[in-house]
Chain A
Amino acid sequence: MELFLLGIDGLPRWMWQQLADSDVMPHSAQLLRTGTLVPMKSALPEVSSAAWASIVTGCNSGGHNVFGFTDLMDGSYTLGFTSSRTLRAKPFWAEASAGPSLIMNVPQTYPAQPMNGMLVSGFVALDLKRAVHPPEQLGWLESIGYAVDADMSLVEHGKARFVQELRRVMDARCQALHHHWDREPWKSVMFVFTGTDRLNHYLWEDFEDRSSPFRQMFLNYYHEVDRQIGRMLERLDDRVLIAAVSDHGFARQLRSVNLNCLLAEAGFLRLKHSPRPSFADLGPETTAFAMDPGRIYLHRQGRYPGGRVTAEESEELLQRLTSFMLNATVDGQPVAESVHRGRDAYSGPFAHRAPDLIVMPAEGTALSGRLNLTQLLETTLINGRHTYEESTFFVRGPEAAARIPSDMKVENVLDVILPAKTAQLRRAA
């Protein structure tokens, strides 16, 4: 094996170091001593689908075409969900020079595409039958009760039951990893823990509150993740390049603001009356709308069937929207920390599909792009939110570490761990 790439969804760099230093994650502590751990910036916006797509392709969203979990199909109001089929740049394992790879639970790889090796798709995989390549490996995975995802609805039955479910799913995934690890001499292995993200979403308040009865449960989960990391490290000799990444950081979520509701209140968005609103219900007077989590699109003429914003009107509207977002408050709290222009944020063949603005949330705030306009402040059990800053990048050894840029971003991961792949990409560009 030449490369082992470990993904830990939603693990902030500072938290990994803190848990390693405090003996919650002793195997991680041992690993971190052998290399370089740096903070990394996530995708814009800081959404897992776009960030993992950037990590495995070396492109930003303009290059791989994944801007969020949802997108409107070109020239329509049809809501689509991004998948391996909308990912338009090659992941590193699909390169001709990649050699046989074992790829497990990487988000944005469903349905499983043909590749050299074995792949089991991660979030948002629905059906295990379509999540496995080659298909002949399906039977064994079914026999161990491999689940494509944890049942998140169990959080409504209590945090203990929810964490138990996360453990069950992680155990099966790790069992599958080791089983398939032994089958072939893989050149690259990538495995992603995703239960960490789910845990952070629902138990972040317990992590921060030292008196919470669920705090130890939170730490125990990370201890188990670390035990699994230890099992993996035992199998890797000194010649293997080991890297570890997370797709975004995490922080406390105190409120969730519905951006479409905010835009409607300010007169930028109007929905036709509908019992179940969809983007097809956007009124012609709509000038802007939002999609998850902070993407704002002008309702442009030519891009959307009912769009009326002309190219000449767009600059003034973008300035107005930027100013509005930067000054908006809900219950006295600011909504946005910063607003970025899509045209400045992305590069590549799909940059023209980018949102016009990306709103980065203020501290404590999460942004949603729901079209339900009844609640500006949404009710949710979620109390942890993604952050753009402080995702994790670790690489073992000094040689690869020397390639870490000073402003490390998710799309730079392959530059560091597989520089030949990114050189190839640049030649193709």
Chain B
Amino acid sequence: MALLQISEPGQSTAPHQHRLAAGIDLGTTNSLIATVRSGVADTLPDEHGRHLLPSVVRYRKDADPVVGDAALDAAADDPLNTIASVKRLMGRGLADVARLADHLPYEFAAGDSGMPRLRTAAGERSPVEVSADILRLLRQRAEAALGGELTGVVITVPAYFDDAQRQATKDAGRVAGLNVLRLLNEPTAAAVAYGLDHEAEGVFAIYDLGGGTFDISILRLNRGVFEVLATGGDSALGGDDMDHAIAEWMLREAGIRSGIDARLLRRLKRDARAAKQGLTDRERVEVTTTRPDGSVWKGTLTRELLNQMVDPLIERTLSATRRALKDAGLKPADIKDVVMVGGSTRMPRVREQVAGYFGRAPLADIDPDKVVAIGAAIQADILAGNKPDSDMLLLDVIPLSLGLEVMGGMVERIIPRNATIPTARAQEFTTFKDGQTAMAIHVVQGERDLVSDCRSLARFELRGIPPMVAGAARIRVAFQVDADGLLSVAAREQATGIEAHVEVKPSYGLTDSEIERMLRESIEHASDDVAARMLREQQVEADRVLEAVQAALTADGDRHLNAAERAAIDAGLTALRSARAGNDPAAIKRAITAVDDATREFAARRMDASVQAVLAGHRLEEFSK
């Protein structure tokens, strides 16, 4: 029971062994992994010294997938098997994908669970599996560099990712065999990287224009505590759109009207990106492309023309920024500093426009591509327990309201957007027919009043309600959102205590057994011993529990437990120790659960006592003034 952190701050218990932890920026265009070494956070390069891993996976028949630069190089020649920007598909259903299809050259198939799957030469792949392939490569890179297994990682997500998208990201981490300590909002990670937590206080804007997403967050920092005042953005706006606009300009200028296929579009977008990057420190660049008929077109792109093309896109980012500020009840002048994140913020035009809007030059000292991964690494280092004295705390908000479907296809909002998480709310509903014995519960996320305009997260049924007249049953539906922004829902009929509980798995998400299968396959593929790995995982977990409970007992056991309770916990610990010595992972897991159950009340009492301690500390301070 690691309530040890809450009782006596500043007093560390056992000396901490340094645990290997990493922060991962799983980006639309590029991904990075960073870690803290000797107190300094930095991203880890591959063997060629490249820090950015293109978020591109190429699937081949009867061969391992190729991830990163090699996949990107092959993209133009093998577009259908080369998956890029998969982040846009995370947590999306088939209908969403159909809407995005104009911009995506891939072929889709419906999966068993309603999750779209991409058809590739290696078979069908879900977006979660594609992301897991990227994560797996980053994990190998880190473990090779650090010389050991990662104990945990922090993976970043855009602040406005909904429940389905967050769940999909966490699932990808699990499929890649990672212990995901936390999903961290990207802008929060950027603020951490800049050490803004050391600022006394102030309101900051994090402007994140990446390859495929734009994300604006307004953070208030006060004595080391981060509060997200508002978030906004556009999940389909970024550097890719700029490349697209340039590619379309090239098509027009070169007079290409036929023979436009996926391969040509890829090639044009690659050339467009190079031209855009070239204009970062030049006023004009030459652009060349080969038409489908083999003839060559040459043209000139000036910065002025580029500005004209991208201004409408930048304006969309500023209008989302205006909305977020309004949500926070603030004006541009209230912002102390603006942090630039994402490769697209290297564009002089973007910095110019952002500076113009806020009336000050933005912070851009840290490489905008690396800043998120660096912040995630700092957080991972703390969560892994390497900095027991850190009092950093990241308070986040939920980006989209959560609600339930009620009569007439309307949404009853349970948790409003921008509520600080973790959060829990409950609402009572009743039956509307005499003798009704079951109730369908449909959980949705979004700001609109009609269910059809919101994202459907999950459906489940509460059964076994005793027959009563309409309106007599009292069904309490409780929502709980954890620090990762992930929702669980429980429903309970108050009179009978009939209960139903679901971890919200999006309608088109992965089931636990699917994740397990993928994990198993990936491990088998790596010719690792599955049984040995599962045993090792349970042993690590057992050690963690044993250490935590022992520390809590030493600190507070006498104060909060009577002899019988103490004996029950001791018996649980003894059983766990002997299971730990054996080689049955299931037995260890059962013993851990038993210890958890036996210590639940103890944990509750320590929690209450420590609330009192916190408040008593306050009074003491006040008296001593």
A and B: real partners?
no
